[in-house]
Amino acid sequence: MADSSLKEMTRNRGLKAGGFVMEFFSPSIGQILKDGGCDFAVLDMEHSGVGFETIKSAIRYFRSVELPAMVRVPTKDSSDIARALDAGAEGLMLPMVSSAEQAKQIIASAKYVPAGQRGVATMPAHDRWPKLSFQEKLAAANHQTTLFALIETAEGARNVDAIAALPEIDCLWIGHMDLSCSLGIPGEYDHADFKNAVAAVRSACLKHNKSFGRLARTVDEAFALFKEGYDFISYSIDVWLLQAAVSEGIRSLRKQCAEDAGR
């Protein structure tokens, strides 16, 4: 999928394959993921410990190669939402969205009037429309800002239809690890309760024409998820990929050296 916006991606159900950045916020990371064929990237603030200065720089790396990036903010607080957007985030991934009321607060913090109450500052990193009028800038930002709601609590799964019904929510993303823990079955992804919760989210996506997303650790897992109806799939996380590549390389090297020594 060539150079499309996150908003445009959520309007179709074809595969969008991306990467998760948790550790390596280097200037080359955008180019690496772009050359690797990614359609999007998730920049994780929730579990990485990085701050907004790092995120602001990283967004520039992705913007320079025209690879859409969303930021997983650490909280649903309006200050985190506003700062990530002002840093230039095209989309946001919001953690632990458990009710329509929470989703409405997120929308209010992420959208300018009349859709929300986001504080206005023109010309920071997010402002890519310098030739537009003030009113046109607000409308353009409201249209572009794309919201991914993480469904990762039992309450969120119960309330998912009301969350999905909100037109400003573009994608429901399963946080499978936290969801299994919230259901009282940590890591038991084949458990009926987990499968039922996922089925509820999938049904809400179909009913309200929303994108459906999740992280996959392997290619086989990602393909299985696509067949189950997921269209936004992040292939692994930067640290997992490096660890897997190093582990496989060292294991293979040791095996070949041992076999050679035994000849």
Number of C-beta neighbours around residue 36 at 10 A: 12
Mind listing the pLDDT tens digit for each residue in 151-167? 999 999 999 999 999 99
CATH superfamily, region 6-261:
Phosphoenolpyruvate-binding domains (3.20.20.60)
Q: pTM (2 decimals)?
A: 0.92
Q: Residue 217 contacts by C-beta under 8 Å, 6 or more apart in sequence?
A: 236, 240
User: CA–CA separation, 218 vs 116, rounded Å?
Assistant: 39
CB-based contact 46:57 (threshold 8 Å):
no
Instruction: List beta partners, residue 94.
Output: 149
pLDDT score of 132: 83
Could you please report the per-residue DSSP string of 198-221? HHHHHHHHHHHT-EEEEEESSHHH
Hey, where are the domains in the chain?
Answer: 6-261
| The pLDDT of residue 125 is above 80 | no
Per-residue pLDDT tens over the stretch 104-119:
999 999 999 999 999 9
Q: What is the distance between the alpha carbons of residues 8 and 156, in angstroms, rounded to a whole number?
A: 25
Share of the chain above pLDDT 90, in %: 91
pLDDT (tens digit per residue) in 214-252:
999 999 999 999 999 999 999 999 999 999 999 999 999
Residues 7-36 have pLDDT tens digits of: 999 999 999 999 999 999 999 999 999 999
Digit-coded pLDDT (tens) for 51-94: 999 999 999 999 999 999 999 999 999 999 999 999 999 999 99
Q: Nearest 5 degrees, angle CA 187-CA 191-CA 193?
A: 105
DSSP track, 47-107: TT---HHHHHHHHHHHHHTT--EEEE-S-S-HHHHHHHHHTT-SEEEES---SHHHHHHHH
**Distance spanning both ends of the chain, measured CA to CA:** 50
Q: What one-character DSSP code corresponds to residue 117? A: -
